[in-house]
């Protein structure tokens, strides 16, 4: 029995560590995009999109105090490679080398493995953002057996919320989801005594998805776990920084379209242009905007003129030798939305991108033509149909786009 309990603890800790590595890796990716270190690079007459030079990354990690020296920086990046977060652009090297080699985050080329662990992680992060940011958050100070616990919730109330908000179709499905969250170290019973039950027992999030992490924490945890074996989940302190949401204007009461991360920069107000935009694929705290919202916003902020230099047909995009390059981009929406605007009809194209949004971090750019959304061809659809497809799909959107050369 003791061996079984120890084995379960080790598996739980391994999953918790995997979750923390994914958060730290995503935070690093967004920071590198923000600092313009991730970009298209040419090597031997070939262009490699959205990549970074290993030596430059090592320099950046040291200068930004993520690592004290180059050896530690290499160890940190190796952890990200071991967890399939970063890879060599040609997959010729399975280890991270401090050299003039090109590496890329898998989320930037659509090769990130969406296995069960990753899906649980994504849904857990999404649930956390919904529950922690709501005005009337159901995560509250509650007591169990005479002890008060902050940001806790009864299991039965969490199940009710999942059903009411369409996150699960039945209580049985909700129970399976919550137990998966517990097994992966995302939530826990407040005193760590019980599995998840649809009852009055209290549960908390073990992980603060918003806390900015230093990569060095990953090595420290690994070394500590090797010395101590299985350890106990520790609740993390709250922090304003979010791993998936770069600093951004808070959502407004009325529906707004394109939002900039630079609120001081004036944006022109254009009335009655909702027919030409995707409404920035913005989310409410309660979930996805209903399709009717797309045609009811009286005033939005957007570019009034098309960014295209000329019209392009679907036949031209698909013709051999056409001056376009195909890219697969994975955009993980945050609590505000995805952050890009589309327009057009057969084909749809990207009209605008919020520079601090998940779309920008994933490599979405203006003038890209959208060919597929989550594996479905959308070349011959209009922007409203593509809008509904994205809005009614998962929070993580995989886009296949065609980008003009030059």
Contact 283, 289 (CB under 8 A): yes
Do 13 and 101 belong to one domain? yes
Q: What is the pLDDT of residue 336?
A: 65
Q: Are residues 19 and 76 in the same domain?
A: yes
Q: Which of 48, 71, 105 is the last residue of a domain?
A: 105
- The backbone torsions φ and ψ at residue 248, rounded to the nearest 5 degrees and listed phi first, read -155, 160
| pLDDT given at position 125 | 83
Same domain for 33 and 52? yes
What is the overall mean pLDDT for the chain? 76
Among 30-39, 48-57, 183-192, 227-236, the minimum mean pLDDT is found in 227-236
Residue 338 is part of a domain; what is its CATH number?
A: 2.30.42.10
What is d(CA 107, CA 115) in angstroms, rounded to the nearest whole number? 14
Q: Which domain holds residue 193?
A: 116-205
* Residues 125 and 146 placed together within one structural domain of the fold: yes
Which of residues 173, 205, 237 is at a domain's end?
205
189 domain residue, yes or no: yes
User: Residue 307's closest CA among 368, 266, 382?
Assistant: 368
Of 28-42, 57-71, 261-275, 381-395, least confident by mean pLDDT is 261-275
Confidence band of 319 (pLDDT split at 50, 70, 90): confident
pLDDT above 60 for 100 = yes
Cα-flanking dihedrals φ and ψ of residue 396, to 5°?
A: -90, 120
Q: Distance between CA 314 and CA 347 in Å, rounded?
A: 6
Dihedral of CA atoms 94, 100, 106, 109 in degrees, nearest 10, equals -130
Q: What is the CATH number of the domain that holds 38?
A: 1.10.10.10
Sign for the pseudo-dihedral over CA of 187, 188, 194, 199? negative
Candidates 158, 102, 94; CA nearest to 131 is 158
Measured between alpha carbons, how far is residue 221 from residues 22, 62, 209 in Å?
14, 20, 17
Asked whether residue 384 is domain-assigned, the answer is yes
Tally of CB atoms within 10 A around 375: 7
Residue-wise pLDDT for 198-247, tens only, equals 999 999 998 877 777 677 776 665 555 544 443 444 455 443 333 333 33
Q: Is residue 71 domain-shared with residue 133, that is, in the same domain? A: no
Q: Which residues contact 250 (CB under 8 A, 6 or more apart)?
A: none
Q: Is residue 389 part of a domain?
A: yes
Instruction: Say if residue 100 is in the same domain as residue 120.
Output: no
Domain boundary among 76, 105, 134: 105
Contacts with 46 (C-beta within 8 Å, 6 or more apart), sequence order: none
The answer as to whether 41 is a domain residue is yes
Q: Check whether residue 59 and residue 125 sit in a common domain.
A: no
Domain shared by 191 and 121, yes or no: yes
Q: Are residues 83 and 149 in the same domain?
A: no
Burial 138-159 (b: 16+ CB within 10 A, else e): ebeebebeeeebebbbbbebbb
Does 298 fall in a domain?
Answer: no
pLDDT band at residue 143 under the 50/70/90 scheme:
very high
Residues 95 and 36 in one domain: yes
Domain count of the fold of the chain: 3
At 2, is the pLDDT very low, low, confident or very high (cuts 50, 70, 90)?
low
Is pLDDT of 284 > 80? no
Q: What is the mean pLDDT of residues 368-373?
A: 93
pTM of the model: 0.47
pLDDT tens, position by position, 109-130: 878 776 777 788 888 888 888 8
C-alpha closest to that of 348 among 325, 379, 372: 379
Answer yes or no: is 287 within a domain. no
Same domain, yes or no: 140 and 66: no
Q: Are residues 19 and 91 in the same domain?
A: yes
* Residue predicted with more confidence, 406 or 300: 406
Within-domain flag for 193? yes
- pLDDT-derived band at 103 (thresholds 50, 70, 90) equals very high
Percent of the chain with pLDDT over 90: 29
Q: Is the pLDDT of residue 159 over 70?
A: yes
- The Cα–Cα gap between 10 and 33 comes to 34
* 327 within a domain of the structure (yes/no): yes
Provide mean pLDDT across the span 358-368: 90
């Amino acid at each position: 029995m003791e061996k079984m309990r120890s084995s379960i603890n080790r598996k739980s800790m391994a999953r918790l560590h995997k979750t923390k590595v994914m958060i730290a890796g995503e935070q690093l990716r967004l920071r590198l995009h923000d600092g313009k270190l991730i970009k298209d690079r040419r090597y031997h007459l070939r262009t490699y999109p959205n990549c970074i030079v290993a030596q430059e990354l090592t320099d950046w990690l040291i200068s930004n105090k993520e690592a004290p020296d180059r050896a530690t920086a290499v160890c940190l990046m190796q952890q990200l490679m071991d967890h399939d977060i970063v890879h060599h652009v040609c997959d010729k090297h399975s280890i991270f080398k401090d050299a003039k080699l090109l590496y890329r985050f898998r989320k930037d080329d659509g090769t990130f493995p969406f296995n069960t662990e990753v899906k649980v992680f994504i849904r857990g992060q999404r649930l956390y953002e919904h529950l922690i940011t709501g005005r009337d958050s159901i995560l509250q100070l509650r007591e169990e057996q005479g002890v008060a616990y902050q940001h806790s919730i009864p299991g039965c109330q969490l199940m009710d919320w999942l059903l009411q908000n369409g996150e699960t179709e039945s209580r049985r499905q909700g129970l399976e989801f919550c137990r998966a969250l517990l097994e992966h170290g995302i939530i826990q019973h407040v005193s760590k005594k019980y599995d998840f039950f649809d009852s009055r027992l209290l549960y908390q999030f073990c992980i603060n998805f918003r806390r900015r992490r230093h990569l060095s924490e990953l090595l420290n945890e690994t070394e500590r776990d090797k010395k101590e074996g299985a350890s106990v989940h520790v609740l993390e302190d709250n922090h304003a920084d979010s791993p998936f949401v770069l600093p951004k204007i808070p959502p407004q009461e009325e529906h707004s379209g394109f939002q900039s991360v630079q609120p001081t920069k004036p944006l022109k107000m254009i009335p009655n242009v909702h027919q030409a935009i995707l409404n920035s694929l913005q989310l409410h705290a309660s979930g996805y905007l209903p399709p009717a919202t797309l045609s009811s916003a009286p005033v939005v902020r957007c570019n009034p003129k098309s960014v295209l230099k000329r019209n392009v047909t679907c036949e031209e995009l698909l013709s051999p030798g056409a001056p376009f390059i195909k890219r697969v981009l994975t955009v993980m929406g945050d609590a505000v939305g995805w952050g890009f605007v589309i327009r057009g009809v057969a084909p749809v194209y990207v009209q605008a991108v919020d520079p601090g949004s998940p779309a920008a971090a994933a490599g979405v750019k203006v003038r890209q033509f959208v060919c597929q959304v989550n594996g479905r061809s959308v070349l011959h659809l209009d922007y409203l149909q593509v809008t509904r497809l994205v809005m009614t799909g998962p929070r993580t959107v995989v886009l296949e786009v065609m980008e003009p050369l030059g």
